[in-house]
Structure 1
Amino acid sequence: MTQRRPWRLPLTGTRSTGSAEPVVAARREGAAVVDCALYVGGVRQSGGRDVAELFADAVTTVDGFVWIGLHEPTPAEMTEVAKVFDLHPLAVEDALSHDQRPKLERYEDTAFLAVRAASYVEHTEVTETSEVLETGSVRMFVGERFVVTVRHGSVGGLRAVRADLEADRALLAQGPWAVVHAICDRIVDVYLDIAAAFQRDLDAVETRVLSRDANAGIGQIYQLKRELVEFRGAVLPLQQPLATILDGRTVKLSKEVRRYFRDVADHNTRVADRIGGFDDLLNSLLQARLAQVTVDQNNDMRKIAAWAAIAALQTAFAGIYGMNFKYMPELEWRYGYPGLLIVMLVTSVLLYRYLRKVGWL
């Protein structure tokens, strides 16, 4: 692989103890590099050299590889990284895109994997505008001697993943695909946590929809459906890349790493199944709420019709006696006016009691 001009990595606080202690890269203002290190036999090597030198050492060292982590790099910064690791321009373009579905593509000796990270947003109750889910993305370039991770968004941080891997040297010694497994495993584990939290939100909305006072609005159900669509867009498309990794034709993995990926795929499938159940439940709740609204509207219409019937009866009396005919019943009677008022009142009461009895009032 042709090496081009070296690209300097902004590192501060480098230890010079000569030991294999982890050297944490402090992110400089405006810099995309979060951390970068050379690993040999699962052990992080000390030193704050530039990326090209670290990669050159990885190529000439048995069981060595470089892991560089980037967060929202600019096109210029991503181009410099691509020069060092000879990344394909199409993959670099995908890494810079802000809207990328989970996928796995192979470019000669380099694999490009895009995964969507997610996190649950804590809230006291679900409203019509509640943000339940926040998503980001992690893109990974994987070669025989390197891993380049590119994050977009505030979720999906990889510092904890790197720290856990550096503590598990046996797994880290498996190479770059062990890093990819650890990242996917952490992301899918968060999916499981989100699914559990989403279940609690669904239970709360279901209780409100099916309660006697039924004060849950349709807007709350639609908000959960919107958040579920976003969650589904992260989980379901990941099934195909994981299946491709496990089939052994596109990516060559050791048995141990493949076993780990199989566990990740199993967890992702469980989350996908739960999402299907959530969607069915939300559809059922929506239908139940719409049925409640229809019943409430029918009840309101019946009440309006009942009161209109009572008013229409009185209007009939008034209309008949307001025609000014010469010959009408009790027209000349002294108590005709109060008598008619009493008849109107009695008929109104009788009609009201009847309508109450049949459930219209």
Structure 2
Amino acid sequence: MPKRIKSRKSKIGVAPGSLIHVGEHVNDDVKIQLISYNEDIFNKASYENIEKCLSACNNDAINWINVDGLHEVEVISSAGKRFNIHPLILEDILNTTQRPKIDIDNNYIFIVIKMLYYNKDIKEIESEQVSIIILKNYILSFQEFQGDIFDDLRRRLEYNKSNIRSKGTDYLAYSLIDTIVDSYFDIIENIGDSIDEIEDILMSNPSNEILNDIYKFKRELIFLRNSVWPLREVLGKLVKSEYELIDDKTVMYLRDVYDHTIQVVDIIETYRDILSGMLDTYLSSISNKTNEVMKILTIFSTIFIPLSFLTGIYGMNFDYIPELKFKYGYLVFWIITIFCILVMLNYFRRKKWL
């Protein structure tokens, strides 16, 4: 299981707004990509230096600056100084333990969202924090690692007849959020398939491995819910409030993402209920198996009670026990024994205990 609660010891006692990276440290270099576009132009380039990237921005176009890697604090600091971003916002970007949230400023909107992946090999959800800053002609996005789910979006931007090329930064931010939310459905579909497999095995052969899988997916769904539920609040603020950076036409699209988020949460709750029911089914199956074993043992014990009584009586060492010298005593004993067994088995069958 990946470690999802990251240590924040480095943040203890430091001043607010201190730029300290909290999260997984990687050895890869920070990758900076700039996409500048409008209806007529499209330029895409990668940079190793944030200053070169900022100087290459086109003020007459929409500029999407994407930073992969948060371990080089100077990159975040330089971008913050260039766009006059509050130090507390920069601190939140570097602190990858944030829940989805939104902060509104007069000049920008800051959004934190969780980008999730489903690892089919270990059947676990892996998480990455994405921070988005919406400005007048700029979108800044900060990711923990290289590689994301935005390749289709980049291809849409490159296609000169795409509707997104005529929109502003608010529509690009919507597209980023929409892509992430759509990926949640793929995760839910994979989890749903695994739950169906567990349910089939549970009905045929419940085992300790199945119990472990049930608890594992309950934990995964809790983690998924904690990543998605706060996003409703973020989108709710964008939809219900009026901001200069959010066009009225984009609000309709944001409402659609909000509805998708609610749908994801509803499916998560449904799967949690299903897993809880499966856990009850597992416990009932184990209890039924135990009861079946106890029933068989009880029946055999009951059958041997009269036999033990007979053998106990004729096993006593008294001189004048009846039938002690009887020639066919042993044969009669077995006849009586078998008769008692047959009578009791027939009685158990009539009572449907067997």
| TM bracket, shorter-chain basis | 0.7 to 0.9
- State which of 145, 157, 162 in structure 2 corresponds to 1:165: 157
Asked whether the 8 Å contact 1:39–1:66 carries over to 2, the reply is yes
- State which of 109, 112, 118 in structure 1 corresponds to 2:110: 112
Which secondary structure does the structure 1 equivalent of 2:142 belong to?
strand
Which secondary structure does the structure 2 equivalent of 1:138 belong to?
strand
Separation in 2, partners of 1:208, 1:40: 54
Q: How many residues align?
A: 323
Which residue in the other structure is 1:300 paired with?
293
CA distance 1:155–1:37, shift in 2 (3 Å): closer
> How far off is 1:227 after superposition?
2.1
- State which of 99, 102, 113 in structure 1 corresponds to 2:100: 102
Cα RMSD of the aligned pairs, angstroms, is 3.0
Asked whether the 8 Å contact 2:156–2:164 carries over to 1, the reply is no
Asked whether the 8 Å contact 1:55–1:146 carries over to 2, the reply is no
Separation in 2, partners of 1:51, 1:39: 19
Separation in 1, partners of 2:338, 2:267: 62
Which secondary structure does the structure 2 equivalent of 1:328 belong to?
coil
Q: Which amino acid aligns with 2:178?
A: D
Asked whether the 8 Å contact 1:299–1:360 carries over to 2, the reply is no
Which residue in the other structure is 1:281 paired with?
274
- 1:323 matched to 2:316? The reply is yes
Unaligned runs of 5+ in 2: 1-26
> How far off is 1:113 after superposition?
0.8
Q: Which amino acid aligns with 1:89?
A: P
Separation in 1, partners of 2:195, 2:29: 41
CA distance 1:318–1:120, shift in 2 (3 Å): same
Which secondary structure does the structure 2 equivalent of 1:84 belong to?
helix
> How far off is 1:274 after superposition?
1.7
> How far off is 1:32 after superposition?
1.4
Asked whether the 8 Å contact 2:31–2:146 carries over to 1, the reply is no
Which residue in the other structure is 1:352 paired with?
345
Which residue in the other structure is 2:91 paired with?
93
> How far off is 1:241 after superposition?
0.2
Q: Which amino acid aligns with 1:85?
A: F
Q: Which amino acid aligns with 2:104?
A: R
CA distance 1:237–1:156, shift in 2 (3 Å): farther
> How far off is 1:308 after superposition?
1.8
Which residue in the other structure is 1:68 paired with?
65
Q: Which amino acid aligns with 2:69?
A: E
> How far off is 1:356 after superposition?
4.3
Asked whether the 8 Å contact 1:38–1:55 carries over to 2, the reply is no
Separation in 1, partners of 2:340, 2:53: 98
Which secondary structure does the structure 1 equivalent of 2:235 belong to?
helix
> How far off is 1:183 after superposition?
0.8
Which residue in the other structure is 1:238 paired with?
231
Q: Which amino acid aligns with 2:142?
A: V
Separation in 2, partners of 1:251, 1:270: 29
Which residue in the other structure is 1:10 paired with?
none
Separation in 2, partners of 1:236, 1:159: 26
Separation in 1, partners of 2:213, 2:260: 28
Q: Which amino acid aligns with 2:140?
A: V
Separation in 1, partners of 2:46, 2:66: 15
Q: Which stretch shows the higher mean deviation, 77-86 or 268-277?
A: 77-86
- Structure 1 segment 1-361 matched on structure 2, within 5 A: 30-40=28-38, 43-45=41-43, 51-52=50-51, 55=54, 61-62=59-60, 64-74=61-71, 75-122=73-120, 130-152=122-144, 156-167=148-159, 170-210=163-203, 213-215=204-206, 217-249=210-242, 252-361=245-354
Residues 254-277 of structure 1: CA distance to partner in whole angstroms, max 9, x if unpaired? 122222212211222222222222
Q: Which amino acid aligns with 1:66?
A: N
Separation in 1, partners of 2:28, 2:112: 24
Residues 145-176 of structure 1: CA distance to partner in whole angstroms, max 9, x if unpaired? 32221113577433432332333654244332
